[in-house]
Amino acid sequence: MTLLRLNNITRRFPLGSPLYGPRKYLVAVDGVSLDVEMGRTTGIVGESGCGKSTTGRIALGLEPPDSGGVLFQGLPLPRIDSKKWRAQRRQMQLVFQDTLAALDRRMTVSALVAEPLAIHGIGDTASRKECVAELLHGVGLGEDHGMLYPHQLSGGQRQRVVLARALAPKPSLLVCDEPVSALDVSVQAQIVDLLMDVQQELGLGLLFISHDLRVVRHVSDRIVVMYLGRVVEQGRADAIIDQPAHPYTQALVSAMPRLPGGFDHYVALPGEPPSPTDRPCGCPFHPRCPLARDVCRQSLPELLPLGPERQVACHLVRH
Ligand SMILES: Nc1ncnc2c1ncn2[C@@H]1O[C@H](COP(=O)(O)OP(=O)(O)OP(=O)(O)O)[C@@H](O)[C@H]1O
């Protein structure tokens, strides 16, 4: 069952002052559609600035799209800050990267995990205490950790606290925005495994955002590849990794550590993505694409089906 649906979402931000000539806009998200199924993970991958976080914020209702719609459990998101929205927010929680900024350093771990319960009016003091102990246990922390302050924890332990706080209101959707990017590789694996265990136990839908295809591949059932605000390819994770169709996805896959039986044709990806304030004509990827032809410089490729459950936006792919 579809838990979250983004339907042709667009978001642009004004640039400069309105006093000096016609206003210019930066298009951060351009016509993005994706689904998150209950109990499943949709991963968004792409380079810095491609619009992943903006998409995540729109999915959570923290930012309105300029056009397009967000459906949660089949219904449009209520207006931000309405009573209905606050009730719904309980169902949708955010886990993000900067744990030290996210956690009030004057509060103990127990108080931090109890806070969302109090905000949402869940339980009384005694039952909240029990609930905090269960939540800490669930994310692999002991009772002793409850008495510590955020700065007394390691990065991995702080990420566990952030996860316990997100799980406290019993959400059905977690949006995880680069949740492990600040951690050592070995700790990343522990947190990713924990997320997957928690997901299985609670049947959560996950929208998992990362620039790192290695991590996204590990957690995701479906992968959405974004480039300069647009989806260039999406489909089942195994299909995307085994047979990437878009030259950009091919470059991302070929840059991952080699896997036995995996993709073995290396595609170099030169340069940086162009600025979203100055998007190239035609396919946004053409200035870096080793296969680009005239048509790629002239017209924007549509995202079209490529077999079942797969879509690609590339002039060079036979649909
Ligand atoms: N509030 C804002 N005002 C103006 N521009 C913004 C705003 N939020 C995001 N942007 C711009 O929109 C584009 C997409 O940003 P976004 O943070 O969504 O990308 P991202 O893929 O998550 O990148 P990163 O991983 O670096 O955060 C960027 O060019 C960014 O500078």
Q: What is the pLDDT of residues 176-215, one digit of tens each?
A: 999 888 888 888 888 999 999 999 999 999 999 999 999 9
Ligand 1, residue 209: give the atom nearest the CA. Answer: 22
> DSSP character for 319?
-
Condensed to tens digits (0 to 9), the pLDDT of residues 102-134 reads 899 999 999 999 999 998 888 888 899 999 999
Query: How are the residues of the chain apportioned to helix, strand and coil, as percentages rounded to the nearest 5?
Result: 35, 25, 40
- The pLDDT of residue 208: 97
Distance CA(258)–CA(272), nearest Å, equals 23
Judge if the beta carbon of residue 279 lies within 6 A of ligand 1: no
- The pLDDT of residue 265: 57
Instruction: Give strand ranges (E) for the chain.
Output: 2-15, 24-37, 41-45, 67-72, 75-76, 92-96, 173-177, 205-210, 222-227, 230-236, 304-305, 311-312
Ligand 1, residue 47: give the atom nearest the CA. Answer: 21
Mutating to test ligand 1, I would choose from 12, 13, 15, 228 the residue with most ligand atoms within 8 A of its C-beta, which is 13
Q: Bridge partners of 24?
A: 15
> Which domains, and CATH codes, for the chain?
2-91+172-181+190-312 (3.40.50.300), 101-170 (no CATH)
ipTM of the shown complex: 0.97
Judge if the beta carbon of residue 97 lies within 6 A of ligand 1: no
Going from the Cα of 289 to the center of ligand 1, the distance in angstroms, rounded, reads: 23
- The pLDDT of residue 259: 55
Residue nearest to ligand 1 atom 8, measured at CA:
54
Going from the Cα of 24 to the center of ligand 1, the distance in angstroms, rounded, reads: 16
Contacts of 167 (CB under 8 A, 6+ apart): 93, 135, 138, 139, 198, 202
Going from the Cα of 282 to the center of ligand 1, the distance in angstroms, rounded, reads: 22
Residues of the chain whose pLDDT is less than 70?
A: 258-268
